[in-house]
Amino acid sequence: MEIRQPIHSEHAKRLDTEGLRKEFLIENLFCEGEMNLTYSHIDRIIVGGVVPTTQPLALMAGKALGVDFFLERRELGAINIGGAGKVIIDGEVFEIGPREAIYIGMGAKSVEFTSDSVETPARFYINCAPAHHTYPTRKITQQQASPEKLGNAENCNVRTIYKFLHPSVLPTCQLSMGMTVLEPGSLWNTMPCHTHERRMEVYLYFDMKDDNVVFHYMGEPTETRHLVVRNEQAVISPSWSIHSGVGSASYTFIWGMVGENQVFHDMDHVAMKDLK
């Protein structure tokens, strides 16, 4: 598990392209037959990609967590962006198809991920956060994920937001996750942009061809920077940073949030005239 320290906004202003990518971009999440995890000290979120092939892949506790089992003091959400697979939790099997999610409450001792097909393996994207209470484990389909359509063609941002882990769908301690699907011809997400001091966020971009990119905008509203993001890469967004992007073609992204406020619309909007 890679460990990343938090970065102050004043420090981020002084980073060059390589420095920004090193601190905020997660590039190699999904590798067949592997589980890759990044632990960020920003709100203690763990971000990971799990691609089981011939053997199950299990969550294992280590020195970084200092506990007997991975979810002893944590909750976890996983969204499958690959082929059909299964999550086995303390012996109970949950079938998780493409674009389906699972919430796993604190206290689950054994968590294994498997794929139904080696040729088209599942690709589980996970977010994991500290927890203080055990809520029931539950599978969530895309139809159950409280869809909300936003945007318009004039602003190139017609999109549907699916709120998989959200108070309107199920209870969690602090973790929220959802998936935003842009329609063909729409390229912008989260513009006009915002910040939220009470929680951080991670964006995973996917459904992109090899020659397509997303320009992800970050930084304080009056001191913006950008990251060039490719397929199945994620961006860590601190609470002081905007998080907005535009692609060379349409794409899909998963947002995950941890912090002390789960109200989806709790945000500090930034006027377009104030961006620099």
State yes or no: 201 annotated in a binding site.
yes
Is the CB of residue 234 less than 8 Å from the CB of residue 40? Answer: no
Q: What is the pLDDT of residue 90?
A: 98
pLDDT in tens, 71-87: 999 999 999 999 999 99
Q: What is the pLDDT of residue 264?
A: 67
Q: What is the pTM of this model?
A: 0.95
Q: What is the pLDDT of residue 63?
A: 82
Is the CB of residue 5 less than 8 Å from the CB of residue 41? Answer: yes
Distance separating the N- and C-terminal Cα atoms of the chain: 35
Long-range interactions of 19-22: CB distance < 8 A, separation 24+: 20/218, 20/225, 20/227, 21/227
Kindly state the helix (H) or strand (E) to which residue 9 belongs, with its residue range. helix 9-12
State yes or no: 216 annotated in a binding site.
no
Question: Whole-angstrom Cα distance, residue 52 to residue 253?
Answer: 21
**Domain 8-267 fold:** Jelly Rolls (2.60.120)
Residue linked to tokens 């890469």: 233
State yes or no: 243 annotated in a binding site.
yes
State yes or no: 2 annotated in a binding site.
no
Q: Consecutive sets of 10 residues in the chain, 276 residues long: mean pLDDT of each?
A: 95 97 97 98 97 97 90 98 98 98 98 98 98 98 92 92 95 97 93 89 96 96 97 97 95 95 79 93
* Residue 148 backbone phi and psi in degrees, to 5: -140, 120
Domain assignments of the chain as residue spans, ordered by start: 8-267
Residue linked to tokens 């927890």: 131
Kindly state the helix (H) or strand (E) to which residue 17 belongs, with its residue range. helix 17-24
Of 206, 198, 205, 203, nearest in space to 267 by CA: 198
Helices (H) and strands (E) in the chain, counts: 2, 24
